[in-house]
Amino acid sequence: MKKLNASLVMILLSMAGFTGCQQSGSQHDDLITVDVSASYPEKELVLQDFMDVEYVPLETNDEFITQGIVEAIGKKVIVVRNMRDGNIFVYDRATGKGIKKINRFGQGAEEYSGINSIILDEDNSEMFVSDYPARKISVYDLSGNYKRSFKYADTGYYDDIFNYDRDHLICYKKYSTSKEDEQACHLLVSKQDGSVTREIRIPFKAYKTPVIMKDELTVVPEFHLMFPNQNNWILVNTSSDTLYNYLADGHMYPIIARTPSINTMETEVFLFPTVITDRYYFMRTMKKELDYKTFKGFPGTDLFYDKQEKTLSQFTMYNGDYSNKRSISFLFKPRNSEIAISQSLQAPDLVEAYEKGQLKGKLKEIAAGLDEEANPVIMLAKYKK
């Protein structure tokens, strides 16, 4: 979704066969049906009622100056990067202290020419840098020493890459044209040589995407096609009306069905999960609609399904550590089985909120020691145990 082409302008709008598909013998959740054209009752929610919240103030010094783009979160470290300079920073999660600054930016065999994403394998003390321009993944240790690299499979591009198990990554392989995208699928990929261990295909009738193409303009909203679900994975294909739960044993079963069908809508409305807990399924709709004058578009509705009450509702989520009802979106990059979402809180915003008396608890304590030149504070929303 982030491939660059000289013949078009790509605008990224941040939205603040069936391999292994047989039924497993274990007990499954009931299939949830979501009418994406319906209206639902509205509710206000507080993040801390659903999640445990942790704040990590990133150390600031002459070497560690970062925009705080969070790429990976482990039990001991947080990996962040800057936008364009190739800098990668490894921080201690418990203290926020800088551990290592890494930059292997370049055109050499042991370097990356761009950073699409960074995947952390803390057990093996490795990180995988996905390089879209070069269509490869380079592997480094946590000190930045080069270990190996491998190419994306065939002519595809990898999106939504996650650490799957000790030996594999899981990702979504897409292509650069709609004709080829009919063959797009999720993959299990060897961490050692990039070989494809398994293709996971979701069936559909016709290729559909929220990406808008007009003349030489391509507009790509932010959306994701894979979400951690405890030890399993929610898999999404935008051309399918069904979202699937992919189990650790390789089986897969439908978990959410949207209606009306994407194939019958004049203006397509897509459905993406955002955060999945034991009781609640948080989701968002996305309408394929854009104002070409303002480039505002892709309107959607935040929804959550209560498995206990068996009800669907619209919601607005607030961070309980702000006294002035500061809303928070769940439309962040999915993380892992421990961390639902992360957000970089910018120091100038926190200093201003502190001076206005709008902060509470631990966040207030942290903000009291900040100045406007400090690195961001990383908010981690963790699944309650």
Give the tens place of pLDDT for each residue, 361-376: 999 999 999 999 999 9
Angle at 93 (CA atoms; ends 317, 16), nearest 5 degrees: 30
Q: Tell which residue, 203, 183, 200, has the closest CA to residue 251.
A: 200
Q: Tell which residue, 319, 327, 368, 376, has the closest CA to residue 347.
A: 376
Pairing label, strands 217-221, 157-163? unpaired
What are the tokens at 378? 């990383």
Query: What local confidence, expressed as pLDDT, does residue 28 receive?
Result: 64
The CA-atom distances, in angstroms, between 3 and each of 9, 153, 159, 198 are 11, 15, 10, 24
Mean pLDDT for 59-75 is: 97
248 pLDDT exceeds 90? no
2 pLDDT exceeds 90? no
Domains and CATH numbers, the chain: 9-383 (2.130.10)
Query: What local confidence, expressed as pLDDT, does residue 261 receive?
Result: 97
Mean pLDDT for 258-274 is: 97
pTM of the model: 0.90
CA distance 48 to 58: 22
Query: What local confidence, expressed as pLDDT, does residue 47 receive?
Result: 97
User: Which contacts of 77-80 are long-range, i.e. CB under 8 A and separated by 24 or more positions?
Assistant: 77/120, 77/122, 77/142, 78/378, 79/118, 79/120, 79/127, 80/344, 80/378
Q: Tell which residue, 213, 215, 206, 185, has the closest CA to residue 197.
A: 185
CA distance 262 to 270: 7
CA distance 162 to 117: 10
DSSP type of residue 349: H
DSSP type of residue 264: T
Mean pLDDT for 34-51 is: 97
7-21, 229-243, 258-272, 279-293: which range is least confident on average?
7-21
Listing DSSP states for 154-213 in one string gives: TT-EEEEEEE-SSSEEEEEEE-SSHHHHTT-EEEEEETTT--EEEEE----SS---S-EE
